[in-house]
A and B are shown apart, each in its own frame.
Chain A
Amino acid sequence: MTVRKLVVCGLLVLLGMTPSGGVDAADPDGPAFLRDVRPIFKAHCFRCHGAGNTEGEFRLDRKPLAFKGGETGKAIVAGQAADSLLVQMIRGRGPGDSRMPPEGEGRGLRPDEIRVITEWINRGAAWPDGIDDQADRLSLWSLRPIRRPKIPTVQDRAWAENPIDSFVLAQLDAREMTPSPRAQPRHLVRRASLDLLGLPPTPEMVDGFVADGAPDAFARVIDRLLANPHYGERWGRHWLDLVRYADTNGYEVDGVKPLAWKYRDWVIGALNSDRPYDRFVTEQLAGDEIAGATTESILATGFHRVGPWDAERGASVQKSEVIAELFNELDDMVSTTSQVFLGLTMGCARCHDHKFDPLTARDYYSMVAVFRGLKREHKGRAELARAALPPVQLAGKDLKSQPQGYFFFEPSPTPPVTHLLKRGNPNQPGVEVSAAVPAALVEKQPAFEAADKFTSRRRISLARWIMSEDNPLTRRVIVNRVWQYHFGTGLVRTANDFGVRGSLPTHPELLDWLAGWFGNEAGYSLKKLHRLIMTSRTYATSKRAIPANVEKDVDNLMLSHFPVRRLEVEAIRDSMLAVSGRLNDRLYGAPMYPFIPKDALRSGYNPAGVWKPFNETEASRRTVYSFLKRTLVIPFLETLDFCDTARSADRREVTTVAPQALELFNGEFVNRQSRHFADRIIAEAGPVLGDQLDHGFRLALGRKPTRGERASLLGFLSNESLLLLGEDHRRFERETNGDPAAELAGEITETGLTLWLDAANGVALNNQRQVSRWTSRVGSLVATAHGDPLVTARAIGNRPAINFEGKDWFSLDKSPVTSQQFTIIAVVTDRGAGGQRGSHRNVIGNWDGGRGNSTTSIFLGTTAGSKGGRAIRLTDAFSHREKLAVTKPVSPFVLTGIAEAANVRVFQNGQLLDELKSPLPARKLDTNWTIGRQGTLDSEYWNGLMAELLVWNRALTEAELASAWRHLGSKYKVVNHRKPREPLTVAAARRQALIQVCRVILNLNEFVYTD
């Protein structure tokens, strides 16, 4: 046999399958009807010999009819395969050598299939009574009752530390595989911490565990981690993936879901308090219908409402649109509920019976009926929150003053009638259906309660069934999910699909044992389940694979070693914050806004307003608190495989592509954390390089560097700081000694430049040699002169300038600024207030008191300072700024005002005069612009020269500003007052080098992968 065949067979064996589709050759009882025989009948015979079709008067889907036989004779003679027509037929030895299935009706049966049927008949053709109607249900493994399998006996009893291990080892034994050795303690504690908290362990925790030789040391570590509230943040995020959580509705409107985060907080809190899973489920489905409903349990029902909603259609004037969207919402609820709790893809049955699973369209609409009474509170396209009070307490209260939350409600206990919709079409209602659970899942429909005064009580009824003993899916599905988040892959790899198309369990008995244990012994405690899984020897296995095992089981389905996998983006980001010392570990509350680069915002509809300004303290909270906007996924998250929020996501993709490297190596976040990390190391470890490296590694990786690593790192540090010092020295020399080439290299960036007035260009004079128009060098803006400004030749740096005297001013035909961020640079002289009233004078602005823009306008100008000098004004919100006054104002200077995302600054000749250190309050941008006076006000006229005036509709970068100043400085021979910088010190160079090392550590494979 070739290697490849071995691999194929091996894989089938691993999956618990044999080529016949289910018979275990070793099963001493021979083929079982439901498991082995019926699937063959179903696949090959029912089409012609089943319900609605009885070729040859023979049916094979009903026991009495099958044994009765058809026109040709008796099909099954129990105990005598050779005499059974069925066997003769499938062998192609029927009367006249006829074969079943006949030519053209599918392939003939394979020898192994024939063997199964032959064997089954020879052994007595045992066909259990009364199962034919339930057969589909019972033949799908996940729908069979959970039976508690016996814990297998294994050779190496010492290895099996708890029952999980016996199941795992039994399957390894059967394949003659030996599991990898136990992981080293420092790996284990790191594995557990990343797993439960999504954060690396502190060095103290690692040391404590490594030193603790007690047999229960690891169990105590796990208990400690489980008691840490960061656990809820980590595992709550897993749940939020499943329930397609986001803070906005998506689609075109993408409106904010008010207070949706209260549901997110409920999830985190429920996990932290170890809310038993039955309770956890019931509150989310029907927290308003349970006995003893509270604000908390009502917030839990936000579960139904956090999915996408097309507000455009939902709030449409067209009734058909509203109805169509309503059924989309209901589909979202049915699909999410059935996938999350039951692992069933009910959504497939919206338009037709499920192609693969025993789910019908009728089942689907019966589920729709469960949610039919729920209503979304909204005003047009805007959604509204609601008082989170149990219905019984709502009457007579001032609802506004009650705790608010985001969830659906049932306005009436009698929901509208639900019809089966033919092909999912609301215009084609079929039969009326009542609330029910999918027929194939139950022997008998569970009772749905009658409505009470407030609600239909359908959701609570569904919840009861979902959590009932008779339903085997719920427990299997949840223990599989928990297993998956611990090991990266579930025992069933398709965690949201336990149907026919889903994967078979790799360890079916273990899955059932866990499901049973979870419901009984553990009392639905998720923390107990974590503890059981994590204290198993299986969990403690080293990540290192034994080559022989890889050959037999390349995908490690048998768990012979611990599967290495990349951390989810949240754990990567949060770990970086923890290591840099900047993690803001405040729990719960309104969302925060991580940094988004401008380039990424630019692709949105509303680049200026879509995202909140960066606030580092807030943005340093755990990633689970990020504002999740469906149409603008935070690039850091998106790049690192954040889940789709459109529907339930049962696992994170792991891709490995170059943009991730760019994000983690060049991106703002990691470089910022690298600086913090380096500063922390210097502060905590002192100046010795070796100590610094040890501390950095211990913080990030829970270990010291190896000898080889240390050599590489020390070499890098000393080399890099020397190179940095050398580079800086050369640059400094160039700067201080002057570099004429560099001076001329400066340039005006035209990106976002909306106005560029230059007195040497575009000035139109009237016949009196007075200026009539001043036209921008870029774009199409034109300034029309008022008063009688004149051009002064060779005014500044041998170049012309407009001379503003008394009442000269210009009006602009269009606004140069349409964004809350802007940059204004003017080359001017300032002769003071002159004879006018007041002391302000203005270069440019859009002040208009008559149109309500007296305090919210933009303007740049100067005024009398408190100490007799001149102060700068850049809007009313940033006025009389004179930390440094304007020096020598009568000499030409370059005046700069810039409003950035998080700061407002003014400069004279490149020297910072003052700054606001917070964003500029919103400006009103729709009024007209003037140059040389205060908007519509007949005062505050500029008194001085103006050679050049530039306005950008954005904030320039430092490099662009510097370049523009260099350019203007050389052009107008204005002395750059910017203080020469200090040369790089040795300490600073060492810090720079250490920052690089920190950036490297945060990018190591070891840092972003499980241990």
Chain B
Amino acid sequence: MTISPTDFVPNQTPCGNTRRECLWQWGGGFAALPLVDLMTREAESAATVSRPSSQKSPHFSSTVKQVVFFFLNGGPSQVDTFDYKPALEKYQGKSFDGGLQIGSNGRAIGKLAPSAFPFRPHGDSGLMVSSLFPHVGQFADDLCVINSMYAETPTHSPGILQMNSGSIVVGRPSLGSWLGYGLGNLNDNLPSYVVMTDHRGGPRGGAGAWSSGFMPARFQGTLFRSQGAPVLNLKRPDGIGAGTQRRSLDLLNQLNQQSLDLRGGNSELAARIASYELAYRMQTEATEAVDVESEPESIQKLYGLDDKRTEYFGRQCLLTRRLLERGVRFVQLYSGGGPDSWDAHVDVPDNHGRHSFEIDQPIAALMADLKRQGMWDQTLLIWGGEFGRTPTSEGVNKPGRDHNHYGFTMWLAGGGVKGGQRIGATDETGFQAVERRLHVSDLHATILHLLGLDHERLTFLHEGLDQRLTGVQPRRVIQEVLA
């Protein structure tokens, strides 16, 4: 069957969106606009109208609506965290030849080195977790640990792109954009896709990681600052009252709308009009959403806000819960950034020791909190980085480890996920995925599936092709993940 553009987008309008989207984009819902008139004339039920204007139905039903992605920027070491490799003790100091190029550019290759962090079984499942994640370890029976991931590059920037967009080349939409495109918004007054970077800096390649690529700009991630006001300029300017602000915005919308009508519509200009309305609503809703201080002291403590080391990530995790409550679809939290990421070339014990301390308690707190609030089943948690690290040290008798995309670990938890299990395996050194090898795009297919989307049917027409998050190679949902 050949799909025509009219099949592709129901109720096609000049801007290529559904009528409903157009109303939203072009300013439907603005109090003072003639479009309101059009909207009421459509005689839709009040329930439909009050529904967030751009919500869409998934391909099949799913309890999972929202996603939190803990992105351990720089590449966490699997053999020091969730991929237990006792054989490394035995091979300590031995040379390693995996038959593949080890590590990244120009770095010394050392000998096999066991983890400095002891592993022990956790929970009923007995899942092995290292001493780097004692708090998360308490949720072992909820974790679905995938030990056999592989990616296509040992380089940060393209690796980060691949983990986010499925491709090592820039210009493709990121996972959060695909979800926004496929599922729409749960709340029109907040950005649907929020990214929070580490206070020390963003990931390499910056905003490319949350770009909407060839999709319309409204699907791209919105960066929340890690300190101070999460979004700058949320407050009205000094001396401008609420009424004046609203009336000025109405005037702006009206003038912009008039010239847009004259010009016969342009999706970018229409999106710009919509962005002002979203910004206006964000002023109230986001200000309230980000007010972490209003949380009870016990909750703040649970997330580690009382300790300098856990405060930043804890604040972000707590903010994440508040955003999820308010219907933000996808939240991505970067741990590590700028000059101090998980990129532990020099000293894994120091680097991973610090970084895991910063995030372990906050992540566990979010897990506990989601369960307490009854949000667990509708939230998918993803943990991991752009790749893992080598089982060898970087340089002889040095405590660092180099990049490794041949085998690494990610874990999933939350709604729709079967916890307390490991999927796949690396070889006995932890270097290369050998059993149930899973490509990054297999993970993407699984994530989409968990949210009720079929990765082969979720397509976006671009340059004459039906583009997919998972690309052209055959990719499969990891069935074992599913509860």
Contacts and interface: CB of A to CB of B under 8 A. Distances in A.
A252 B249 CA distance: 41
Nearest to A712: B254
B279 A665 contact: yes
A229 interface: no
A631 B272 contact: no
B463 interface: yes
A426 B220 contact: no
B233 A666 contact: yes
Contacts of A545: 264
Interface string B447-474: 0000000000000010110000000000
B255 A252 contact: no
Interface stretch (B39-47, B235-243, B319-327, B403-411): B235-243
Contacts of A631: 201, 338
Contact of B218 (A327, A656, A662, A723): A656
A252 to B, nearest CB: 3
B282 interface: yes
Size bin of chain B's contact surface = 35 or more
Given A4-B2, A1000-B252, A602 B227 contact: yes
Interface in B230-270: 231-238, 240-241, 243-244, 247-249, 251-252, 254-256, 258-260, 263-264, 266, 268-269
Contacts of B8: 4
A654 interface: yes
B373 interface: no
A540 B287 CA distance: 46
A671 to B, nearest CB: 4
Of B3, B236, B263, most buried by chain A (CB within 10 Å of CB) is B263
Contacts of A327: 106
A566 B268 contact: yes
Interface string A5-37: 101100110000000000000000000000000
B278 interface: yes
Nearest to B235: A666
Given A603-B225, A635-B232, A654-B217, A996 B259 contact: no
A959 B235 CA distance: 13
A603 B228 contact: yes
Interface stretch (A190-198, A406-414, A615-623, A1001-1009): A1001-1009
A12 B464 contact: yes
B241 A727 contact: yes
Contacts of B101: 423
Contacts of B5: 3-4, 7
Interface stretch (A258-266, A515-523, A593-601): A593-601
Contacts of A177: none
A668 B259 CA distance: 27
A252 B275 contact: no
Contact of A658 (B199, B222, B256, B268): B222
A1004 B4 contact: no
Given A427-B108, A661-B275, A662-B233, A1004 B256 contact: yes
Contact of A720 (B3, B222, B244, B249): B244
A305 to B, nearest CB: 21
A655 interface: yes
A658 B105 contact: no
Interface in B178-204: 191, 199, 201
A507 B278 CA distance: 40
Contact of B217 (A12, A656, A727): A656
B3 A4 contact: yes
Interface in B210-224: 211-212, 216-218, 220, 222-223
Nearest to B191: A658
A656 B271 CA distance: 7
B49 interface: no
B276 A1006 contact: no
Contacts of A427: 106, 108
B2 A1004 contact: no
B229 interface: yes
A251 B339 contact: yes
B81 interface: no
B436 interface: no
Contacts of A1000: 248, 251-252, 255
A350 interface: yes
B263 A958 contact: no
B232 A598 contact: no
A654 B339 CA distance: 28
5 pairs of A and B residues whose beta carbons are closest in the complex: A599-B228, A252-B339, A661-B279, A8-B464, A666-B233
18 contacts: A631-B338, A635-B232, A639-B232, A654-B217, A657-B220, A660-B275, A661-B279, A663-B232, A663-B233, A665-B249, A665-B276, A666-B234, A716-B251, A958-B238, A996-B244, A996-B251, A1003-B252, A1009-B269
